[in-house]
A = this chain, B = another copy of it.
Amino acid sequence: MAEDMYPSANMHANLSERFLAVRQRSREIAEPLSGEDCCVQSMPDASPIKWHLAHTTWFFETFILEPHERNFKPFHPAFRVLFNSYYNGVGDKHPRPQRGLLTRPPLADVLAYRRHVDERMSMLLTDGGAREKIAALLEVGLHHEQQHQELMLTDVKHMLSMNPLDPAYLPATWKPGRPAPEMRWQRFEAGVVEIGHQGNGFCFDNELPRHRQFVEGFAIASRLVTNGEYRAFIESGGYAQPSLWLSEGWDWVRANDLCQPIYWRRDGDAWQEFTLQGLQPLDPHRPVTHISFFEADAYARWAGARLPTEAEWEHASQGCADFGGTALHPDACDTCSEDGQALSQLFGCGWQWTLSSYAPYPGYRAADGAIGEYNGKFMSNQYVLRGSSCATPQGHARPSYRNFFPATARWQFTGIRLAKSL
């Protein structure tokens, strides 16, 4: 990661407090879950909650305590392998599809591991010299943990959805949304724009360097596509019409007999949606979520539009200040026409697929060492998503943020914002 991507330590008088707050939040997410809930892995793409709790701790132990703590001794020697996600530079890794077989260490031991590392980190942070040295990596570690906090919610949701009992993560506090305002097209002229992170705040290496792109004239939708709109796509035969789909997407639809979003359940003429609060009637006003790139792309074609590129999205989002809040499900849009903001639901609602494949920015350089494996090595066959979702932690979203997933990924809070060439 480029040196300049991390703010200097003195910007964070309360680095220690922020560290503890972020760490605390992960435990809170696990709070409503049993040891059993935290242990199981429902698919290779998802990880058990317990593994998330341990791996985020491993990150601090491996990348900060090990090089910086005097007389470093690992909490448990086997954890270096067990909780390494994908850092070849650190050494061996427990196979990803077998993360759910780790009934030992039990959840209690992982929580003890967390406490132990938190105490050692707090101790280290009392040392000003060390604090300065580790500040940049600590920021990475905190944002890394925040990324996992979002994954914890989406992974546990997928796991619960596989259970015929339709169990809820938390009791339902569900209110029907108000009707969404009409979708408007916000227009932008052609020209050279700058994208990529700027300023002193934190960002990941993949958001750098800030650079120029030429964007032809385009229009972008004022809000996300709703469940009701997506339902019309389904009911007009959207999943049965090959001309709406990319070839690879069509093969995927056929091979998996897909006819609706992953968490939708048809109940005669009515629709329900599995949520973190259990099975709920489908709310037509809320944004459609848990949509793959292929579905988003097909919907856009059906709607006579297309997805935006990431440069278009980032350019259009400039000056939009609302960074949303966390929730267990995307909220309906009831403010966008009134709050004077051109675009609503940019953040805090659902990640928005772009047409842009995940690729390095011109001049991109990964950091040296194992930490350099954080982002760069995943830059193939994935699509960039922009914005943030209802499950994104506070303080983790920004306009230059580049999330990325394969074109078939459906278990994230992902939605659709349309665009058009002018």
A153 vs B346: C-alpha distance in the bound complex, in angstroms? 50
Answer whether residue A341 sits at the interface, using C-beta atoms and an 8 A cutoff: no
- Stoichiometry, as copies per complex, reads 4
Nearest residue, chain B, Cβ from A105: B165
A 88-104 contacts with B by CB, 8 A: 88-89, 94, 98, 100-104
CB distance from A386 to the nearest CB of B (A): 16
Residues of chain B within 8 A (CB-CB) of A159 are 101, 103
We find that the number of chain A residues with CB closer than 8 angstroms to chain B is 69
A10 vs B167: C-alpha distance in the bound complex, in angstroms? 46
Given contacts A40-B39, A359-B355, contact A104 B163 (CB under 8 A): yes
A380 vs B357: C-alpha distance in the bound complex, in angstroms? 9
Nearest residue, chain B, Cβ from A192: B214
| Complex contact A362–B248 (CB within 8 A) | no
Nearest residue, chain B, Cβ from A378: B247
Answer whether residue A107 sits at the interface, using C-beta atoms and an 8 A cutoff: yes
A 209-244 contacts with B by CB, 8 A: 211-216, 218, 242-243
| Complex contact B381–A247 (CB within 8 A) | no
Given contacts A103-B37, A356-B359, contact A82 B164 (CB under 8 A): yes
Chain A residues touching B, majority SS? mixed
Nearest residue, chain B, Cβ from A294: B380
Answer whether residue A245 sits at the interface, using C-beta atoms and an 8 A cutoff: yes
Residues of chain B within 8 A (CB-CB) of A248 are 378, 380-381
Find A357's partner among B105, B165, B357, B377 (CB 8 Å cutoff).
Answer: B357
| Complex contact B40–A379 (CB within 8 A) | no
Nearest residue, chain B, Cβ from A40: B103
CB distance from A239 to the nearest CB of B (A): 14
CB distance from A278 to the nearest CB of B (A): 11
| Complex contact B357–A359 (CB within 8 A) | yes
Residues of chain B within 8 A (CB-CB) of A101 are 40, 42, 159, 162-163
Answer whether residue A387 sits at the interface, using C-beta atoms and an 8 A cutoff: no
Nearest residue, chain B, Cβ from A356: B359
Answer whether residue A180 sits at the interface, using C-beta atoms and an 8 A cutoff: no
A 68-89 contacts with B by CB, 8 A: 78, 81-82, 86, 88-89
Interface residues of chain A, those whose CB is within 8 Å of chain B, are 34-40, 42, 78, 81-82, 86, 88-89, 94, 98, 100-107, 159-160, 162-165, 167, 190, 192, 211-216, 218, 242-243, 245-250, 293-294, 297, 306, 309, 355-357, 359-360, 362-363, 372-373, 377-381, 407, 421
| 4 tightest A-B CB contacts, nearest first | A357-B357, A88-B242, A214-B214, A216-B362
Can you list 8 pairs linking A and B with CB atoms under 8 Å apart?
A36-B36, A40-B40, A101-B163, A105-B165, A192-B192, A297-B380, A357-B357, A357-B359
